[in-house]
Amino acid sequence: MCFKINFNSYGEKAIIIDFKNNIDKNIYVAWQSELCISLQKEFHDILEDVVFSFSEITLFFKILPNRVHEKKISTWIKNFSLTKQHIIRNLWEIPVCFDEVFSEDLLVKSENNSITYESYISEFLKCIFEVHHYGFLPGFLYLSGLPLKLHLPRKPTPEKYVAPGTVAVGESYVGVYPQKSPGGWNRIGRTYCSFFNNKNNPPCYTLPGDKIKFISISLDEYQSQIDKIHQNNIPKSSSFEIIY
Amino acid sequence: MKSFIKIIDPGFHTSIQDNGRYGYRRLGFPVSGPMDKYSFTTANKLVGNFKDEAVLETTFKGPKLLFSGPCVVAVSGAIIPIFKNDENIELNKPFFCDLGDVLELGVVENGFRNYISFSGGLCQNKIFGSYSQYYPISENGTITKGQNIKIKGGVTYKNKIKGGVTYKNKIKNELNNLSFDSKLKVFEGPYWNNLENELKNKILNTEFKIGSNDRMAYRLSGGVLENKISSFSASVMPGTVQLTPKGDLIVVMRDGQVTGGYPRILQLTENSQSLLSQFRTGKVISFEISEYDKSHQ
| Helix %, strand %, coil % of chain A (to 5) | 25, 35, 40
Q: Does A12 touch chain B (CB under 8 A)?
A: yes
pLDDT of residue B160 exceeding 70, the answer is no
Q: What angle do CA A78, B292, B193 make, to 5 degrees?
A: 75
Q: For the purposes of burial, counting CB atoms within 10 Å of the CB of A242, is it exposed (0-12), middle (13-18) or buried (19 or more)?
A: middle
Q: Does A158 touch chain B (CB under 8 A)?
A: no
Distances (CA, A) of B60 to B110, B180, B214, B218: 9, 15, 12, 16
Q: pLDDT tens, A36-66?
A: 999 999 999 999 999 988 778 999 999 999 9
Interfacial B residues in 32-71 facing A (CB < 8 Å): none
Four-point Cα dihedral A10, A14, A19, A24, nearest 10: -120
Q: Residue B164 phi/psi, 5° resolution?
A: -60, -45
Q: pLDDT tens, B3-61?
A: 899 999 999 999 999 999 999 999 999 999 999 999 999 999 988 887 889 999 999 99
State the Rg of chain A over Cα: 20
CB atoms within 10 A of CB B158: 10
Q: Does A70 touch chain B (CB under 8 A)?
A: no
Q: What is the pTM of this model?
A: 0.90
Q: What CA–CA distance (Å, rounded) separates B253 from B213?
A: 9
Within chain B, what is the greatest distance between any pair of CA atoms? Answer: 62
* Cβ separation A48–B22 shorter than 8 A: yes
pLDDT of residue B170 exceeding 50, the answer is no
Among B218, B219, B256, smallest CA distance to B236 is for B256
pLDDT of residue A115: 84
Residues B219 and B210 sit within 8 Å (Cβ to Cβ): yes
Q: pLDDT tens, B216-261?
A: 999 999 877 778 787 677 899 999 999 988 888 999 999 999 988 8
State the Rg of chain B over Cα: 20
* B199 vs A4, higher pLDDT: B199
Q: What CA–CA distance (Å, rounded) separates B58 from B78?
A: 10
CA distance to partner chain B, nearest, from residue A118 (Å): 31
Among A224, A142, A141, A217, smallest CA distance to A178 is for A141
CA distance to partner chain A, nearest, from residue B12 (Å): 22
What is the complex's ipTM, to 2 decimals? 0.88
pLDDT of residue A235: 83
pLDDT of residue A184: 86
* Cβ separation B23–A40 shorter than 8 A: yes
pLDDT of residue B75 exceeding 90, the answer is yes
Q: pLDDT tens, A85-122?
A: 888 999 999 999 999 999 988 887 777 677 888 999 99
Number of residue pairs across A and B with CB atoms under 8 Å? 103
Q: pLDDT tens, B44-57?
A: 998 888 788 999 99
Compare CB distances from A54 to B128, B233, B269 and report the shortest one's residue.
B233
Distances (CA, A) of B110 to A47, B62, B184, B229: 37, 13, 17, 38
Q: What CA–CA distance (Å, rounded) separates A178 from A165?
A: 6
| Helix %, strand %, coil % of chain B (to 5) | 15, 35, 50
pLDDT of residue B173: 42
Pick from B21, B25, B194, B216 the residue to mutate for testing the A interface (most A CBs within 10 Å): B25
* Cβ separation A55–B234 shorter than 8 A: yes
pLDDT of residue B207: 94
Among A30, A31, A212, smallest CA distance to A129 is for A212
Mean of the pLDDT values across residues A213-217?
96
